[in-house]
Amino acid sequence: MLPASPKELTEAVILEACADGWPETQTLDFKWSLPGTTDDDRAEFLKDICSFANSDGGDIVYGISDRHSRANQVVPIQGLAPDLVRRRLTQMIAAIEPRISSIKMEPVQLATGGFVWVIRVPSSFDAPHTHRRDGLYRFALRNGTLTSDMSYDQLRTAFDRSAALATQARAFRESRNVAIASPTHSKNMLDLGPLLVVHVIPLSAMTGRKAIDVGALHDGDYSKFAQRAWGAVTTRTLNIDGLRVHPGVEVGQIPLAYSLIFRTGCFEAVRNVGHARIGPDIIPSTVLAGTVCDMVSKFVQGAVDLGFSGPAIIAVSLLRVDGTQLGLGERYTQQIAPMADRPNLIVPETWIDSLEAFGNVHAVARPILDTLWQSFDEPQCREYDSNGNWNGGDPFCDL
């Protein structure tokens, strides 16, 4: 794929591709002109889109001629308005079944006039996608720089792909919860009360085809993964899993919270939610709810910023809650909910169809929080009013 999102591509990158003769690859294809208007042109275009979506995704660049499967020369698209190009190609793509979400199309304007047109097709988790040609449904797959019809075994694998990746994501979450709850994981973090665990797991992180450069993130904007309660002092540590972001503490102290950005693209937040002043056996309800909303929002946006797209699993767990009660009310001592009936509360995961189309966090968080509150014999999360609006105030004002 090209080394930037379509919106960020510049003429300089296009000229560099031609000057250096960038090769076509599994995820990059050059074409000198836009698709035509005949039935054959339309079918060939849809075949290309399906083949990328059914494989690893990639970029199709229109307006660059190739020579021996390498970028050769810019052939500007002229005399066409980009908005009309977008509308025509979008209408053509709508014929693909099932529809492919998150396709991006952008023009790269050229100083000499005209533009190059870039289409970025995601590797789809609704695959296999099909188009019709000569009255038949065709399933295409990109293999290297070639496009071919899928075999029976390839079709069967494609239909099973999303289910297999979801199983891997659930297994990852389960293994992490076991590790976090173990005495050797967090040292004395466990001795001070219950632990809230938030996971955001893009299905694309389960494929092993994409990795986060945690070294660059270590030297970059890692603070965007800080939990709001930490205040201004945030630091980070590299380890075998990836990058661990945590509040700054004095030497020899153990942080009571962290965010972990895995190399694979999974995200994990852990926080001790025992009340700092009242006692570790009381969980402040507003802090619990606010932390879930905060970290889900940050992780979803962080995943998108790091180039992940498509569906994801959002999962929340409350570990080590035996002997712990949920503190309700403004000061947490106005009412205490009964104890949970088991030591670990593992809320069923929530699916989102598209990371980049993620909307209001509360639409996702409220059902999760209702389930947690019901685990303490409360009908629903009290941090939302009867209309589903957040009414918990600032969840970080009393930590």
pLDDT tens-digit series, residues 287-339: 899 999 999 999 999 998 988 888 899 999 999 898 888 888 655 556 777 78
The dihedral formed by the CA atoms of 252, 246, 277 and 316, expressed in degrees to the nearest 10:
-130
Nearest Cα to Cα of residue 262 among 303, 219, 301, 309: 303
Residue labelled with tokens 């603070």: 223
Per-block mean pLDDT, blocks of 10 residues, the chain (399 long)? 84 95 95 94 95 91 94 95 96 93 92 95 87 89 90 85 88 94 62 86 87 93 88 84 84 74 96 72 87 95 88 94 80 69 93 86 94 92 85 55
What integer pLDDT is reported at residue 35 of this predicted model? Answer: 95
Residues in Cβ contact with 205 at an 8 Å cutoff, skipping those fewer than 6 apart = 169, 262, 264, 265, 266, 308
Tokens coding 211? 């990795």
| H helix and E strand count, the chain | 7, 21
What integer pLDDT is reported at residue 251 of this predicted model? Answer: 47
Distance CA 352, CA 25 (A): 31
Distance CA 133, CA 167 (A): 34
User: pTM to 2 decimals?
Assistant: 0.77
What integer pLDDT is reported at residue 131 of this predicted model? Answer: 92
Residues in Cβ contact with 88 at an 8 Å cutoff, skipping those fewer than 6 apart = none
Q: Which CATH superfamily is domain 6-150 in?
A: Schlafen, AAA domain (3.30.950.30)
What proportions of the chain, in percent to the nearest 5, are helix, strand and coil? 30, 25, 40
- Considering only CA atoms, give the Rg of the chain: 25
Residues in Cβ contact with 184 at an 8 Å cutoff, skipping those fewer than 6 apart = none
What integer pLDDT is reported at residue 69 of this predicted model? Answer: 93
Nearest Cα to Cα of residue 118 among 78, 62, 77: 62
Tokens coding 345? 């509360």
Ranges of CATH 3.30.950.30 domains, the chain: 6-150
- By DSSP bridging, strand 345-346 and strand 282-284 are unpaired
Distance CA 171, CA 161 (A): 15
